[in-house]
Amino acid sequence: MDRLSNTVRPYAWGSTTAIAELIGAEPTGEPQAEMWMGAHPGAPSRTGRGALNEVIDADPERELGKAAADKFGPRLPFLLKILAAGAPLSLQVHPDLAQAKEGYADEERRGVPIDAPHRNYKDANHKPELICALTPFDGLCGFRAAAETADLLEALDVDSLKPYVDLLRAQPEDAALREVLTAVLSADPVQMAETVTEVTAAAQRLGGAYEPYAGIAHHYPGDPGVIAAMLLNHVRLQPGEALFLGAGVPHAYLDGLGVEIMANSDNVLRCGLTPKHVDVPELLRIVRFEATDPGVLRPEATPGGEEVYETPIDEFRLSRLVLPEGAAPHDLTAPTPQILLCTAGSVHAGELALTPGQSAFVPAGEKAEVSGTGTVFRATVVA
């Protein structure tokens, strides 16, 4: 078992206090957005044996187990994070596996540099993800029913929104959602900025259901993504609740601290709330234009006391273990690779003492006994 030393990414949307408070450190005054735990080459965790990606590369079958190495290849198939949003992230969507392979091959064939700002596909993998709240956590997830969004926009009483309202009341719903998102992202930037300014003022005046969108507009004045965001469901997670985000589902995180796990990919297509490249034609090819319930997940208890967040993919499996005072040790030994993350209290993973924000990598088959008083998240795979 290896204690992990992890990189904190200072993205501009990050909270200046949340990660520091979790780990019991003084805030630096700078944004701290994500703490990465895993073997992603962009910021691999470090161990006493070297960078985790290099440790795995040296002997994939030993570190990952034969079943996981055969199924996912010679690399850790997930990335675990602590995510701390102090401002909205970009509105975004991820491709499915076939789309990612096709898009990556196309950009490679056309010679688009991997670090080019207009490149969409950094790898050939999909990026399903799960976010579990550690604090109250606000986000946007999936399209709201078109008729409900029409009512929401109409009540703002902004003349330039009326064509969108009419489209949203047309049928079929999937075509209506596609037409509205296309119109919003293709609109004249000056005219759209004026619309967003009017919408912001109306949302601030009305409050209630409009408060999340007024907050988004405060951070991204004039951005067409403000209108695109209003097409989506607003969700507030309570601690322990989670969202699973599959391919094609538009989403954004707005505020809060959570544990996030995802397939090991960088593929993101943005819809707005960002100064970065927005490839509208490719985005429209990837988005699933269907109204959906956000589907808040609550963990399912197992006979051993572990609580599992069930998802339909195999690249990751996230579970939570809450250890009350005096609890007997729990044996988490498994034939698959694991990362154990403490988020509350003080626990021992084997001989390693872990406090909030500290984590350990457990190679496949290695003894993994957890004891103490606190909360441990366990990331592994289904192999």
**Residues known to be catalytic:** 270
**What count of other Cβ atoms lies within 10 Å of the Cβ of residue 344?**
16
Peptide bond into 250 cis (omega under 30): no
- Give the CA angle between residues 168, 173, 175 to the nearest 5°: 90
For residue 3, give the nearest of 57, 65, 55, 47 by alpha carbon: 47
Distances in Å between the Cα of 289 and the Cα atoms of 153, 298, 330 are 18, 26, 44
Tell me the H-state helices in the chain: 18-23, 52-58, 60-64, 66-72, 97-109, 146-154, 162-168, 173-186, 189-206, 211-219, 225-229, 280-286
Locate 215 and state its tokens: 């907050």
Q: DSSP string spanning 124-154?
A: S----EEEEESS-EEEEEEEPPHHHHHHHHH
Distance CA 46, CA 39 (A): 9
